[in-house]
Chains A and B, each alone.
Chain A
């Protein structure tokens, strides 16, 4: 298995080309030594939805997200993507389709443009200048292609990080507290961008957030984790009210 389902080349940026992905975890578990980081989490992520993941620090939220794109290996359980066990895909192929934006931007030294071009180059479909600029327009950073990443603000860097992930045309976007290090204004810009991407690209998004307000603003559904376990999942307002 190479691609998750039929689609065009990696660099075709037409959002209508993308198909949303149905994801499911079954008893997903990760143990490291005596510690259980994720404990039998079973959840269905609907195609095209934004699902928020909340819970106290150390609840296993980031560990759960890292298992979904196989940055870490589950010790038990499985992840199904459109009904297929994700271990059937080559990890680089899986990670291109299930993109992940981390808490820190983690940009590579160089220009904004070279960061955007990194992912597509890995799959042998270089991102040309025109497509690079279109992506930057999409994330509100028009004309930033030649800027050195060292000169970016935290909010700009995080938007470049999102654009860099989008350059691979993933069909699932995992976001690990993408606004936690940003001020309110920058955080709102990133939030708006996530909602826009979800609407325009019909992209399934899973976002970890510590902010109940943020979860309520952007995610119709929320899952609440505590002590490595899934405690509850449902409409955001009722989950946040209960916890």
Chain B
């Protein structure tokens, strides 16, 4: 009976996945009209997402009885995976993985620690890992958005940055406008998320708690705490990554190193295998 039900659930789930994948690919193919060809990257990402989530499902099923240490180890591995994913978009930066790991780890670590210490997050692995992973995922996004914005702004304004250097400015002053926009760009989606909370979307955790029988008001307040923790983690991740990247963008003699032509690292075998595409390429 149980096996039958599980098989039915998995079969239904796979059918739903197939439907979602088909619709997603159809929508992405329309992006071609805007000169953006991301079908291949989307297909790889969808395949990765499906495989990874299936593995996580199996892992969680086997780890459900684990304690805080097991949960922390799982989250640490997630931070590593998030840093690897982010760093692949910045393969020309030899330090991309370390600054991604540092920023995601510090952002998510601070928020998760705060929630655990204030009893806002249970150390029960069934809650600890899913909620922690939400915070890590958002830190990863914030970190990647900040890095991308800073890199694109600086490389687009090399002339002005070097003009400022030539006028005797210290490196941090030369890139200060781009630091501000990068940190703000990384916060914007999280700020919008916070603003629209309850108005535009009711997050999954709240819905899940209500289904499980919690008071709707408590579920709402708890969801607010989680989204605020996400905001905290994202802000720390964005600021950390830019603080380190700003320093690494210049040599010790104040020479700009962050340029389009900078290629300091060749992509490795696993990087090539797991991430064939780094994003839409200009035609």
Interface residues of A (CB under 8 A from B): 69-73, 87, 91-93, 95-96, 99-100, 102, 104, 106-108, 118-119, 122-123, 161, 164-165, 168
Give the distance in Å from the alpha carbon of A119 to the alpha carbon of B168 in the complex. Answer: 6
What residues on B are CB-neighbors of A87 within 8 Å?
Answer: 253
The 13 sampled A-B contact pairs (Cβ below 8 Å) are A70-B254, A71-B162, A91-B165, A91-B253, A92-B165, A95-B167, A96-B168, A99-B166, A108-B160, A118-B167, A165-B167, A168-B167, A168-B168
Tell me how many residue pairs across A and B have CB atoms closer than 8 Å.
65
Q: Which residues of B come within 8 Å of A, CB atoms? A: 159-160, 162-170, 173, 251, 253-256
Beta-carbon contact of A104 and B167 below 8 Å: no
Q: Which of B160, B173, B254 contacts A91 (CB 8 A)?
A: B254
Are A108 and B162 touching (Cβ within 8 A)? no
CB nearest to B158 among chain A residues: A106
The answer on a CB contact under 8 Å between B168 and A122 is: yes
A165 to B256, CA, bound (A): 19
Which residues from A are CB-within-8-Å of B160? 106-108
Kindly state the separation between the CA atoms of A233 and B48 in the bound complex, as whole angstroms: 62
Known: A91-B253, A104-B159. A71 touches B165 (CB 8 A): yes
| A164 close to B255 (CB less than 8 A) | no
| Closest A residue, CB atoms, query B162 | A71
B97 to chain A, nearest CB (A): 23
Tell me, rounded to whole Å, the shortest Cβ–Cβ distance linking A13 to chain B: 16
* Interface contact A100-B166, CB-CB below 8 Å: yes
Q: Are A118 and B169 in contact, with the CB atoms below 8 A?
A: yes
Select one of B164, B166, B168 contacting A93, CB under 8 A: B168
Tell me the bound Cα distance from A72 to B158 in angstroms: 13
When distances are taken between beta carbons in the complex, the residues of chain A under 8 Å from B159 are: 102, 104, 106
A102 neighbours in B (Cβ, 8 Å): 159, 162-163, 166
Q: Tell me if B167 and A122 are in contact (CB < 8 A).
A: yes
- A92 near B254 with CB under 8 A, answer yes
Please give, as numbers and ranges, the residues of chain A lying within 8 Å of B251 by CB-CB distance: 73
Q: How far is the CA of A104 from the CA of B159 in the complex (A)?
A: 8
Closest chain A CB from B166 CB (angstroms) = 4
Q: Which residues on the B side are within 8 Å of A164 (C-beta)?
A: 167
Q: Least Cβ distance of A67 to chain B in Å?
A: 10
Interfacial chain A residues near B254, Cβ < 8 Å: 70, 91-92
Chain A residues closer than 8 Å to B162, beta-carbon distance: 71, 102, 106
Would A92 and B169 count as touching, CB distance under 8 A?
yes
Q: Could you tell me the distance in whole angstroms from the C-beta of A86 to the nearest C-beta in chain B?
A: 10
Name the B residues within 8 Å of A73 (CB-CB): 251, 253, 255
- Return the chain A residue nearest B157 by Cβ: A106
A123 in complex: contacting residue of B168, B253, B255, B256, CB < 8 Å: B168
Bound CA–CA A118/B160 (angstroms): 12
A104 cross-chain contacts in B, Cβ below 8 A: 159
Which chain B positions have C-beta within 8 A of A161?
A: 163
* Distance between Cα atoms of A93 and B253 in the complex (Å): 11
